[in-house]
Structure 1
Amino acid sequence: MTAPAHPLTVATVQAEPVPGDVAGNAATAARLVGQAGARVVVLPELFLPAYHPPTLAADPAGTDVAADEHGRVDDSRLDPLRRAARDGGTTVVVGAAVRHPDGRRTISSLVVDPAGGVRAAYDKQQLWSGERELFEPGRRGATLLVDDWRFGLGICYDGCFPEHGRAAADDGAHGYLCPSGYLAGSEHRRDVYYAARALDNTMYVVFANAVDGADPWRFNGGAAVYDPEGRPLVRGADTGTDVLVATLDPAALAATRAAHTMLADRLPDQGLPRTAITA
């Protein structure tokens, strides 16, 4: 796999959105994007409506954004975020609830490009617990291209499945972007899963997370960027808004992949056939 030619500055955000206030949360996201000053900024899962199932269930019309058949989103509530992306030359990945033309409702990552265009780029494939009552799973993976970097897109529970990150790596990803919503009490799993996805696949991982809020929907921050050996380059605290900036280094990526060759060494039928042994 070819490494990118140039470093890339990324930012991961932990912040607390207001349930149901898409316009206000888009304005908050725009402010945080401007603060980051990075080429790529990742914000939490469902940040635009907030990860608050009672509100998402009670007001789908007000909390969703509509995508057309090509995934394009044209919603004036997102105008501040469009301006922030244009002004900073930034690609923004932000969580949203998306209504598709066929009526499907998905947990999605919107990508706001540096020209201000918005599209629903990826729909969460692995739904967690009560999400299944409100949303339908996505149908395919997605890879985001920024300059000469390739990023697999995942959302929260997707990253708990090694196969999801590996599919991104198999598609040539140099990194994996994961907007998330981890609840207080899950700090151990939060910190293990995304470091593991980085090490499993010798790729950078950018993990964004919601933070604070009221029980039972209180989130635990810990936003981080992991290097290709799973070490945190930056990590947020368990409470409080933060914007954490890191530089992805293609030389470090290439060196890690040269030293740790799991992607090249993996067998096509790993672990098969199996033999049963009685002890």
Structure 2
Amino acid sequence: MIVAAAQFAPVPLDAAANAARMAGLITEAAERGAGLVVFAELALTGYELDGIAAAPERYAYAADGPVLAPVAAACRATGTAAVVNCPAPAANGGLALTSYVYGPDGALLTRYDKRHLHGPEKAVFTPGRTDGRCTLGGLRIALATCYDTAHPEVWERAAADGCGVLLASAFHDSAVRVEELYAAAAREHGLQVLLANCLGPGSPGTACGLSGAWSPTAGRLADAGTEAGLTLADLRERITLMSDPAVAAEPAAQAPGSSSGVG
């Protein structure tokens, strides 16, 4: 499976503009042979915690709402799946920092609410309670968002659950951290890893880009550098493709009172 990490600088708090950009990148990725496109943390709004906190009801996006309709339509038109990270209504009220996974038919495949919130995120978002999992084209996938990846148990559970790939949406401002963390985790846990990192300024500073993919045996497979655009990685090293890929997912609803790991 060819997977694309989409890297761009979002327009701050302009979800409509960013959704249009995402739809264009999904179309471009499909034309280049990708079956799945992953976007950075809070790519729909930009990493703008103060603005989101000032009007949480305005920035709570439903997967089937009008703002994200262009993304779903692009998936449906191209037959390409996508992981889109944004503020979303939490199951028990408030906001979650959510990755929506759209299938190749444009329908919601699953959602993952970030479990390990970092610093000021805790004042804005409600942490998730379950790990992110879905199956696409016969491949079991783990989902993670930025600070999740700093917790070894996230990687350990992904490997123990039989996941072949971990997809990370992030806002990292340290190039050293990107290179050290993902290469080491891929190697230690035997996972293919794809990172979609942001570009440009946000609440914590300036994101460094460097989106790409890592193999547990070969290290870096693809590197987006510090420019906007797409970087593609062919993950067929460990994946047997199905001629007619079936799509399934874990239930989108969170189970209250699940295991530890909440930030």
Post-superposition CA distance 1:87-131 (Å, at most 9, x none): 221110011111135213111111111111136511111111111
Gaps of 5+ in 2: 241-263
Separation in structure 2 between the aligned mates of residue 41 and residue 26 of structure 1, nearest angstrom? 13
User: Does the CA-based 8 Å contact 1:198-1:226 persist in structure 2?
Assistant: yes
CA displacement at 1:59 relative to structure 2: 2.2
> Which of 1 and 2 has higher RCO (CA within 8 Å, sep 6+)?
2
The match for 1:176 is 166
Q: What is the SS of the residue equivalent to 2:46?
A: coil
- The Cα of 1:251 is off from its aligned counterpart by 4.8
2:224 and 2:152 mapped to 1: Cα distance? 24
Which SS does the other structure have where 1:109 is aligned? Answer: strand
The range that moved more, 191-200 or 40-49, is 191-200
Q: Distance in 1 between matches of 2:214 and 2:112?
A: 21
**Aligned equivalents of 2:132, 2:95: Cα separation in 1:** 18
Contact kept in structure 1, 2:15 and 2:67, CA below 8 Å:
yes
- Note the 1:159-238 alignment, pairs <5 A: 159-183=149-173, 186-213=174-201, 217-229=205-217, 231-237=219-225
Greater per-residue helix proportion: 1
TM-score (normalizing by structure 2): 0.85
Partner Cα distance (1:228, 1:57) in 2: 39
Q: Distance in 2 between matches of 1:144 and 1:42?
A: 14
- Residue 26 of structure 2 is aligned to residue 33 of structure 1: yes
AA matched with 1:126: H
Which runs of 5 or more structure 1 residues have no equivalent in the other structure?
Answer: 1-7, 67-72, 254-279
Counterpart of 2:4 in 1: which secondary structure?
strand
Q: What is the CA distance between 1:230 and its match in structure 2?
A: 6.0
- Percent identity between the two aligned chains: 32
Taking only aligned residues, the RMSD between alpha carbons, in angstroms, comes to 1.8
Within a 5 Å distance, the mapping from 1:98-117 to structure 2 comes to 98-117=88-107
Look up the match of 2:115. 125
CA offsets 1:58-91 (integer angstroms, 9 cap, x no match): 221222213xxxxxx2201111111110122111
1:54 aligned onto 2:50: yes
Q: Which amino acid aligns with 2:6?
A: V
Q: Give the length in aligned residue pairs.
A: 237
In the alignment, which residue of structure 1 is the partner of 2:83?
93
Q: Which amino acid letter does the alignment assign opposite residue 19 of structure 1?
A: P
State the match for 1:246 in structure 2: 233
2:7: which partner in 1?
14
Q: SS of the residue aligned with 2:198?
A: strand
Q: Which residue of 1 aligns with 2:65?
A: 75
1:154 has 2:144 as partner? yes
CA distance 1:199–1:100, change in 2 (3 Å): same
- Alignment TM-score, normalising by the size of structure 1: 0.80
CA contact (8 A) 1:108 1:120 kept: no
- Larger of the two Rg values belongs to structure: 1
